[in-house]
Amino acid sequence: MFVIAAVAADFFDNQSHKSMNNSKTLLRLTLVSILSVLVLLPAEARKKAKTVEGPQPPKYIFYMIGDGMGFNEVYGAQNYNQVTGDGPEYINFTQFPVRTVITTFSASTLVTDSAAAGTALATGVKTYNNGLGVDPDHKPVNSVCYYAHQAGMGAGVATTVGVNHATPAAFFGHADHRNEYDKLATQLIEADFIDFAAGGGFLNEVRKTGRDSKYFEDKSKEAGIGVFHGKEQWGNLSNYNGRVFCFNVDPARTELKYAMDQKPGDTNLSDFVKAGIDYLYGHFAEKGFVFMVEGGKIDGAGHGDDAACNIKETNDFAAAIDVVLAFYDKHPDETLILVTADHETGGLQLGAGQYEMHPELLKVRKLSEDEINREFRILAGVGADRRPLPGRKVPTYEQVKEFLGQYIGLWKTIEVDEDQEAAFREMYHNAFELDEEEIVESLYSTSNRIVSDAIMYADKKAGYQWSHGSHTGSPLGLYIKGAVATEFNVVTDNSLIVPTIRKVAKF
């Protein structure tokens, strides 16, 4: 209790140092003491708070986090949409009435990872990279979902990646290292303050422990939690009795497919958001809820330096926000929507050394780099382990060119200069004449170098140039709409979002 009041005091110090005057000091002290009391008796105090003058606390709080979604990811996607017509003209949250900029540094470095950023976004406490739901001294810290629950509200998390991956796990888990997936899976099952959770499945340490996603699903069922795969299975959850976990329609996958690789019937983020709203509003219409939704794979496309995929992931995240906006339209005075990111990934630049962009050159891309690689392995006559398949026919250089034209547009819509052509010939020679395939590894995938270089080259021609495959320390946008949105004008850092939510929502 003491700690929270101290955090709040620091926060207001921070915000009021520029124009401190007597009335502000008074206000500050009043707010801090109110907050201290609220922490003592959240449910009671929240009720009382409604009788105090001023705006009503928001009841339905949506906290949308694009993993790896910097400004250039957002506006690069918007550029693409506007030029090609292949996506909404404006990414919905760029039009939100309140927008501010936040810093993201962690307690250990200026360039955060998703665990430290997730912890700051979920709890308001900065920690070291890889630390999850713990402070720099490894002490557990509680999330906004925990505090909402203390106040009698509901809480949910949804993501396109594993449900115990860093960002969602920061809202319920505590681990010295984000990769302690078994521990985090168990913590989710035990976290009774998370009423609804959705994601691909449980990330796990099966190679080490033999416990796979299904093991943790069985444990969830033993704990009385409803576990469903795909929207046909979960149906309408408004009246479901008990906690719920919603997973990918394919139980073998612990994350969703990239949006551009999805086929009809595949689970997508909007399915999770609809299910979460059904459930949370169904159970907590009166008391309210906090619902965290992560576009978790924007980051993967950034690590892989794949602009077309990155754009489609951002659009998919925006589509999930459309579902939230439809809810907002029904409850405009009681809903607060926050959209932000944890960090930027890939050092994406818009322009690529020329005073023009050609986003339309990306339109030919219908598959992610991962899936183009799968097709390339078929052409190359090798299996998933990259070993030659029986009866393998080695492709000719012309066939490889044809492939790069079909999937990436090279030589068709995108001119290839002499140097790059020579580089492709050399790569072909190495891969197919010397049988020494070159592999490019990124954080979440591996790619044949021909495919990887072709995608980087096409991205650059389109004006999307990647600096590397890691995170950057770039500041990020915080986009806010709804009840008390302007209260977030003062937020300048990722650790200040949760204190502000708790202040305005009075819990």
Phi, psi at residue 74, to the nearest 5°?
-65, -55
Instruction: Please give the residues from 77 up to 136 whose contact with Zn ion meets the rule CB under 5 A.
Output: none
Residue 267: closest CA among 232, 292, 215, 311: 232
Nearest to 130 by CA among 177, 67, 180, 167: 177
| CA pair distance 495, 136, nearest whole angstrom | 14
CA distance linking residue 398 with residue 315, whole number of Å:
35
- Contact range with Zn ion by CB under 5 A, out of 142-150, 291-299, 320-328, 386-394: 291-299
CB of 167 or CB of 335, closer to Zn ion: 167
Q: Minimum CB separation from Zn ion for residue 203, in Å?
A: 14
Minimum distance from residue 303 beta carbon to Zn ion (Å):
6
Structure tokens given for 41: 């008796």
Nearer to Zn ion, 156 or 347 (CB): 347
Our CB check for Zn ion shows the closer of 195 and 299 to be 299
Q: Which stretch binds Zn ion (CB under 5 A): 185-193, 299-307, 405-413, 498-506?
A: 299-307
Q: How far apart are CA 279 and CA 285, in angstroms?
A: 10
CA 112 to chain centre: 14
Q: Which is nearer to Zn ion, 177 or 287 (CB)?
A: 177
Stretch touching Zn ion by CB under 5 A, among 80-88, 125-133, 135-143, 294-302? 294-302
Minimum CB separation of residue 299 from Zn ion in Å reads 4
Rounded to a whole number of angstroms, the minimum distance from the CB of residue 138 to Zn ion is 22
Burial of 245 (0-12, 13-18, 19+ CB in 10 A): buried
DSSP state of 238: T
Site string for Zn ion, 60-79 (x = CB under 5 A): --------------------
Q: Considering the complex, state which of residue 111 and residue 350 has its C-beta at the smaller distance from Zn ion.
A: 111
Confirm if 301 and 443 have CB atoms less than 8 A apart.
no
Report the residue from 195, 294, 299, 305 that binds Zn ion according to the rule CB under 5 A. 299
* DSSP structural state of residue 257: P
Of 299 and 487, CB closest to Zn ion: 299
Residue nearest Zn ion (C-beta atom): 299
Least distance between Zn ion and beta carbon 244 (Å): 28
Nearer of residues 108 and 406 to Zn ion, judged by Cβ: 108
CB of 143 to Zn ion, least distance (A): 20
- The piece of 297-305, 459-467, 473-481, 487-495 that touches Zn ion (CB under 5 A) is 297-305
Element (H, E) at 228: strand 226-229
Q: Which is nearer to Zn ion, 299 or 493 (CB)?
A: 299
Which residue in 130, 402, 442, 415 sits closest to 309, CA to CA? 442
Of 247-255, 286-294, 298-306, 458-466: span binding Zn ion (CB under 5 A): 298-306
Per the listing, tokens 């416990």 go with 211
DSSP of 268-330:
-HHHHHHHHHHHHHHHHTTT-EEEEEEETTHHHHHHTT-HHHHHHHHHHHHHHHHHHHHHHHH
Residues binding Zn ion: number (CB under 5 A): 1
Site stretch for Zn ion (CB under 5 A), options 126-134, 202-210, 295-303, 431-439: 295-303
Measured from the CB atom, the residue of 67 and 271 that comes closer to Zn ion is: 67
- What are the angstrom distances between the C-alpha of 37 and each of 13, 145, 146? 19, 19, 17
Assess contact for 162 and 141: CB atoms under 8 A. Answer: no
Which of these ranges, 196-204, 253-261, 293-301, 361-369, lies near Zn ion under the rule CB under 5 A? 293-301
Residues paired with residue 480 on neighbouring β-strands, in sequence order: 98, 338
Q: Which two tokens stand for residue 379?
A: 């052409």
Asked if residue 342 binds Zn ion (CB under 5 A), the reply is no
Window 369-398: contact mask with Zn ion (x via CB under 5 A): ------------------------------
178 vs 365 by CB, closer to Zn ion: 178
CB of 126 to Zn ion, least distance (A): 18
Which residue ranges make up the site for Zn ion (CB under 5 A)? Answer: 299
